[in-house]
A = this chain, B = another copy of it.
Amino acid sequence: MATDQDGEMPTRSRELNTRGQRTMARLLDAGATVFAARGFHAARVDDIVQAAEASHGTFYLYFSNKEDLFRALAAEAADDLARHAQTLGPLTPDEVGLEVIRHWIGGLCDLYRRHGPVIQAWTEAEVSGSEFNRLGADVVGSYASALATRIADVDHGNLDPQLAALALVTMAERLNYYELSGQIGLPESVAVETLAAVTFSAVFGIPAPPAVVGA
C-alpha cells in the first residue's frame, strides 16, 4: 500500500513527538552552521552530524541527504523573504517616500543577515538550472515585482519599471552579499542609507532628501 519506491522524503512524512522534533531542530541548526562555515559543497554530512551531536544513522532518519536538509533551510529563508517583499507601500517623492524605501530595504538587510549563510550557500549550491537557482530567482523576482509596481505608479517615463526594479533589487542583494562575506566591511546603517538614496534617485529622478541625523 505504501509506495515505498521513491527516495526523497523521510522528513515531514512522520509525526514526530517531542524528542524527534528536538533532534530534527538540532540537525537543522547544525546544518545552518556548517553550511555557513564551509559552504554547501564542502559541507559533509559528517560535519553536520557532529555539530548536532547525533549519529550518522539519525541524520538519514530525518533527511534523505545533505540536499534535503538544505532544502528545508532554504525554503524557510525563501518564505521569509518572499513575505517581506510584499510589504512595500506606495512611494512619494518626499522624505516620507524615502523613509518607506529605507524601511523596506532595512528589512531586506535584516533578513539577509538572518538567513545569510543559507542564501550564500544556495548561490553556490548548484549550477544553472538547479532548484536552488530557481528559488533564488523567485525571491529576487518577488522583490523586483513589488518594487516595479511602485515605480510604474510614479512613471516619469525614463525607465523600464521591470528592469529598473530588478537592477535596484540586485544591487541591494549583492551589496548585502559582499558585506556579509566580509570582503568589504561597512556599517550597515550607511549601506541601507546609500541603497535607499540610490533607489529614491532612480525612482524619482531627484536627489534623495538629506538624511535626517539619527534616522
Contacts and interface: CB of A to CB of B under 8 A. Distances in A.
A39 interface: yes
A165 to B, nearest CB: 10
A42 B206 contact: no
A212 interface: no
Listed residue (A4, A128, A181) with the most chain B CB atoms within 10 angstroms of its CB: A128
Interface stretch (A17-25, A64-72, A192-200): A192-200
B210 A207 contact: no
Nearest to A163: B194
Oligomer: number of copies: 4
Contact of A194 (B39, B134, B164): B164
Interface residues of A, number: 57
Given A137-B184, A182-B128, A167 B156 contact: no
Contacts of A123: 123-124
A108 to B, nearest CB: 13
Nearest to A126: B39
B39 A127 contact: yes
Contacts of A47: 4
A191 interface: yes
Listed residue (A134, A141, A171) with the most chain B CB atoms within 10 angstroms of its CB: A171
Given A127-B39, A171-B170, A205 B201 contact: yes
A18 to B, nearest CB: 18
Listed residue (A50, A124, A208) with the most chain B CB atoms within 10 angstroms of its CB: A124
Given A157-B210, A201-B205, 9 more contacts: A2-B50, A42-B127, A128-B182, A140-B178, A158-B208, A166-B184, A167-B175, A167-B194, A174-B174
10 contacts: A39-B127, A124-B127, A128-B181, A140-B178, A158-B211, A159-B194, A167-B194, A198-B202, A205-B207, A206-B206
